[in-house]
Structure 1
């Protein structure tokens, strides 16, 4: 028997007649064409709502594709920016802190939708003296010391939920010693650091920085406390800070809606 090679002239199936081999080739080619048409048809119909699948008996059955529900975007909950320019011994500021700021912060602070900034300076004045500052405050030297203490606490702890209890406590105190009791109550380990800051060059520098922020306001401050919501002075907030803060929030949170409904 001859060994088969790629160059062999004899057919691989010598026992099959040439005419039969031609029929076999035609059958194979025809089957391949039919299979290709079928596969193309299946691929074109894959995107139809009703799709085909193979059942256990080999039959084709229809099934419905799963309908994906449209995605509904959740409304963006905006933050509001609340800046309060104040001074430690101002009667109007003390009244506002007791009647408005504390109530609004207790109700809305936990919503995490208020960017709050307290700027203790008011109608003070600071003059640079070498590497230090000399400051005069509207209600005298004690007010400067307490303003400086407030600035030190705000600078040290940074977040309103941490410093607000101490600052609310300090407002309206008549001496630095009284104000330092608020530090003892809230940050006992920080007493010496805060006392040194309030009475030293760092406290005066922080007060001068608050003065720069206050001086940059337009229109210029002519009343304390000066309340700014989202970059605009809001005089109505002096009488109801909670209402004005709530109305600036979109969408209005349920807590605010309850409060606004209670005003009607």
Structure 2
């Protein structure tokens, strides 16, 4: 299912009408790369931003720092060890090098999906998988720019009011969602004050969400394709799983 979601993020982000920047809802996710709850949020929930045009009404920000600490000598230590500090910096550099959310989020998603499946040591394969040049990110995380970014994220995280208690720490329009962070869509929709709400705010059922996906696929590839058949089968499977209370992540 992760591969299908990544395809959805890469190819099926719908074009949408411009939204006045004053109407956009700030949506900030403070996390750390090797936190299992964080990777679960990114892999199984955040992709929903791209299922429809919800991303068009959000100022989306990922802050990869979490519970890290700055020692008196200036070095940064991370909750899950040096590998987490490395991946925090790698993801920070990806966001800095590719500021377009349609580029950096698939990369972060790819890395975190490997974390989710306990295979994070192969994180560098995400460059090839996504057709991205690794050089600028490598130069960043191995140089001074990577440290500058982590110090910036440290300052942003430490300035949170109220302070973060754990990660992931999800904030919508300045208000933390606490343990209700998985329901971020409803909070974004509620906070949106624009006149043209996106389909994610008007489609409340599983069938409605799948209808949005199918419409997007058919508009790009025609009425009957392998992808449309695949998503039709997926719709039936997910509906059955939810009906039997086996999964709840769609």
- Tell whether the structures are fold-level matches, with TM greater than 0.5: yes
Q: Displacement of 1:207 after TM fit?
A: 1.1
Deviations 1:216-248 (Å, cap 9, x if unpaired)? Answer: 001111110111111111236522222222222
188, 197, 215: which is aligned to 1:253?
Answer: 197
Q: How many Å separate the matches in 1 of 2:127 and 2:72? A: 28
Unaligned runs of 5+ in 2: 1-18, 208-250
Q: Tell me which residue corresponds to 1:188.
A: 132
Q: Displacement of 1:180 after TM fit?
A: 1.7
Q: Displacement of 1:254 after TM fit?
A: 4.8
Q: Displacement of 1:249 after TM fit?
A: 1.5
Q: Displacement of 1:142 after TM fit?
A: 0.2
Deviations 1:166-201 (Å, cap 9, x if unpaired)? Answer: 011112536775222212333532x12312322333
8 Å contact from structure 1 (residues 180, 195) kept in 2 = no
Q: Say yes or no: does 1:95 pair with 2:40.
A: yes
Q: How many Å separate the matches in 1 of 2:111 and 2:163? A: 26
Q: How many Å separate the matches in 2 of 1:213 and 1:105? A: 26
Shift in alpha-carbon separation, 1:158–1:259, aligned structure 2, 3 A: same
Q: Tell me which residue corresponds to 2:65.
A: 121
Shift in alpha-carbon separation, 1:237–1:102, aligned structure 2, 3 A: farther
Query: Which structure has the larger Rg over C-alpha atoms?
Result: 1
How many equivalent pairs are there?
185
TM-score after normalising by structure 1: 0.62
82, 88, 110: which is aligned to 1:141?
Answer: 82
8 Å contact from structure 2 (residues 33, 84) kept in 1 = yes
Shift in alpha-carbon separation, 1:109–1:217, aligned structure 2, 3 A: same
Q: Displacement of 1:101 after TM fit?
A: 0.7
Q: How many Å separate the matches in 1 of 2:54 and 2:87? A: 24
TM-score after normalising by structure 2: 0.65
Q: Tell me which residue corresponds to 1:161.
A: 102
Greater helix fraction, Structure 1 or Structure 2: 2
Q: Tell me which residue corresponds to 2:144.
A: 201
Shift in alpha-carbon separation, 1:261–1:176, aligned structure 2, 3 A: closer
Q: Displacement of 1:258 after TM fit?
A: 3.1
Q: How many Å separate the matches in 2 of 1:128 and 1:205? A: 17
Q: How many Å separate the matches in 1 of 2:142 and 2:72? A: 16
Q: How many Å separate the matches in 2 of 1:231 and 1:169? A: 28
8 Å contact from structure 1 (residues 148, 198) kept in 2 = yes
25, 30, 45: which is aligned to 1:80?
Answer: 25
Deviations 1:15-64 (Å, cap 9, x if unpaired)? Answer: xxxxxxxxxxxxxxxxxxxxxxxxxxxxxxxxxxxxxxxxxxxxxxxxxx
Greater strand fraction, Structure 1 or Structure 2: 1
